[in-house]
Amino acid sequence: MKVLNSFFKIGVVSNLVVFLAMMLLPAFIITDQLDVFERIIFYIFKK
């Protein structure tokens, strides 16, 4: 049950990250800060 719970948490967090990325991506493209966006994604997945 504990393993399932941790998998569920990971799933929710990754979905939230993807959702936030989708929301923020147009803003990053418009302001031409894709390197910042890539750094944020890299930082999140490095954890």
Look at residue 16 and tell me whether its pLDDT is greater than 80: yes
Handedness of CA 33, 39, 42, 44 (dihedral sign): negative
pLDDT, average across residues 7-24: 82
Residues 15-43 as b/e (b if ≥16 CB within 10 A, e otherwise) read: eeeeeeeeeeeeebeeeeeeeebeebeee
Q: Which domain holds residue 15?
A: 2-46
Domains: count for the chain:
1
Look at residue 47 and tell me whether its pLDDT is greater than 70: no
Q: Average model confidence (pLDDT) for the chain?
A: 78
Look at residue 26 and tell me whether its pLDDT is greater than 80: no
Could you tell me the pLDDT band of residue 37, with boundaries at 50, 70 and 90? confident
Res 45: pLDDT: 80
- Is the distance from CB of 28 to CB of 36 less than 8 angstroms? yes
